[in-house]
Amino acid sequence: MDTYFKEEHLIFQEQIRRFCETEMAPLVDEAERTQTFPRHLFRRMGELGYLCIRYPEKYGGAGADKITECVLREEISRVCQGFASSLSAHSHLSTFPIYRTGTEDQKREYLIPAVKGEKIGSFALTEPDAGSDTKSIRSTAVRKGDHYVLRGSKTFITNSPFADYLLTAAYTDKGRGYHGISLFLVDKGTPGMTIRKLEKEGIRSSDTGEVSFEDCPIPADHLLGEREGTFKLIMETLSEGRIGVSANMVGVAQAAYEAALRYARERTQFGRPIGKFQAVAHKLADMATRIRAARLMVYSAAHLLDRGKPCTMEASAAKLFSSETAVEVAREAIQIHGGYGVMSEYPVSRYLRDALVYTIGEGTSEIQRNIIAKQIGL
């Protein structure tokens, strides 16, 4: 990693790892059992400057580069991907579009409190009939004088059960095709908005909800940037987010590998540690190799982004490879644990459940392959 890491990255890695192990790790079991994110972490991370580190200091951020953000994401996911999911939905998906095109009033009302952890954000894009095909969303927002009337439904929306605002995508002009999709800042408690919490098998400690909008009145000045048509911004948000999600998956894979390596050294069968058997040793060697390759892909893409270079293919390749690596490593970690691998007292089954979410979430593996195919001229 010497190619991409400077001394400040290594110092930050040590700091955030210590924070994750001392202040996050003790919360994981309870959060997973109750399927509830410990919300005080938003303010705590905001106080320490860890919550939205990439935004400029004028908005309360640290002005950090993408590599630093990836270090942060990897370390949080190494402890708990559910925590990382809620934090990522807040620190990137529901805030990046505000930073990029929001008015100064919108940044003052939403972005600055979000950076401090005083307001919690959610990004409402996915719908029951529109997942990978973003252009197929059916939600609409019709202008009526000084407000819009929002109608539609969203599903699998991270943080929505407790968010203070939902950055919501809806068509404002279907005549323009997907260029007519706009983003709105929808406040908690808006009349006509209802939210139902969903239960999941993966990322259980991240609250996820289903949202309905029935003739919700949205003030016109809550249209992001006070201009219609932000589909390109949505795609930019998702594309950059893939690099961060890739770092998350490296963290999950690293956690699964460390658990398997530790168990292989401690578990004895036939008079010696199972790690001394070639079948197990080779599994661990393959796991270590794949993680190393995935990590290099992630930080290579982050480095390109930091330099302002195109990285569409690199981001999709990193997301594809890291998420599938996390699944494979977690599956092998369970195999190494044997019967204990499916016992709730061991974390390896959680790693697999969480990894499987991200061969689907934030762009399926199939969509990543489509993007890569297009980038290579197919």
Phi-psi region of 80 (alpha: psi -120 to 50; beta: other; left: phi over 0): beta
Instruction: Answer whether 222's CB lies under 8 Å from 184's CB.
Output: yes
State how beta strands 147-158 and 140-144 pair. Answer: antiparallel
The tokens describing 372, both together, are: 């890569």
Catalytic residue selected from 7, 74, 362, 366: 362
The tokens describing 198, both together, are: 């969903």
Cβ neighbors of 215 (< 8 A, separation 6 or more) are 149, 150, 151, 192
> What would the 3-class secondary structure string for the chain be?
CCCCCCHHHHHHHHHHHHHHHHHHHHHHHHHHHHCCCCCHHHHHHHHHCCCCCCCCHHHCCCCCCHHHHHHHHHHHHHHCHHHHHHHHHHHHHCCHHHHHHCCHHHHHHHHHHHHHCCCCEEEECCECCECCCHHHCCCEEEEECCEEEEEEEEEEEECCCCCCEEEEEEECCHHHHHHHEEEEEEECCCCCEEEEEECCCCCCCCCEEEEEEEEEEEEHHHEHHHCCCCHHHHHHHHHHHHHHHHHHHHHHHHHHHHHHHHHHHHCEECCEEHHHCHHHHHHHHHHHHHHHHHHHHHHHHHHHHHCCCCCHHHHHHHHHHHHHHHHHHHHHHHHHHHHHHHCCCCCHHHHHHHHHHCCCCCCCHHHHHHHHHHHCCC
Check if 210 is active-site: no
* Catalytic positions: 362
